[in-house]
Amino acid sequence: MTDERTLTVRVRTVPEAVVVAAAGDLDLGTAPVLRDRTRAVLDDRPGALIVDLDGIGFCGSAGLQVLAELAARTTADGVPLAVVADRYPVLRAVRLSRLDEAFAVHASVDAACAWIREVP
């Protein structure tokens, strides 16, 4: 049996931030893909980062670990971090782990952009 789970990560720039959008399952096997892509984006010192998880169907503990690492790094670097999580599996995991206290959670990229425009 083969593992069919994959993660697609796309990076784009909007006026307010760099958006890293992930789709698929975020688990032990795929979390390194998101970790590597977000680290590369942060190495370029963006003004703000939006991690769009709207395309994620499952978020395991390894995915939550990546989000916790991102929260720590962006805080240390002074980079505003917004996470888009409106689907139940991701939103529930983020809330249960209390990561929603470590970064701003929004229902859409547009809402995250509006929040970033208000960050001093």
CATH code of 65's domain:
3.30.750.24
Question: Is 2 inside any structural domain?
Answer: no
Distance CA 100, CA 93 (A): 10
**pLDDT computed for residue 5 by the predictor:** 64
4 falls within a domain: no
Tens digits of residue pLDDT in 25-36: 999 999 999 999
pLDDT for 84-117, tens place per residue? 999 998 999 999 999 999 999 999 999 999 999 9
Q: How many domains does the chain have?
A: 1
* Band (4; pLDDT cuts 50, 70, 90): low
As a whole number, mean pLDDT of residues 56-64 equals 95
Question: Which pTM was predicted?
Answer: 0.93
Beta-carbon contacts of residue 16 (< 8 Å; ≥ 6 apart): 47, 48, 50, 112, 113, 116, 117
- How many Å apart are CA 40 and CA 101, to the nearest integer? 24
> Please, what sign has the CA dihedral across residues 62, 22, 33, 6?
positive
For residue 2, the model assigns a pLDDT of: 42
73 has a pLDDT exceeding 70: yes
Residue with tokens 């990561």: 99
For residue 1, being part of any structural domain is answered with no
Containing structural domain, residue 49: 9-118
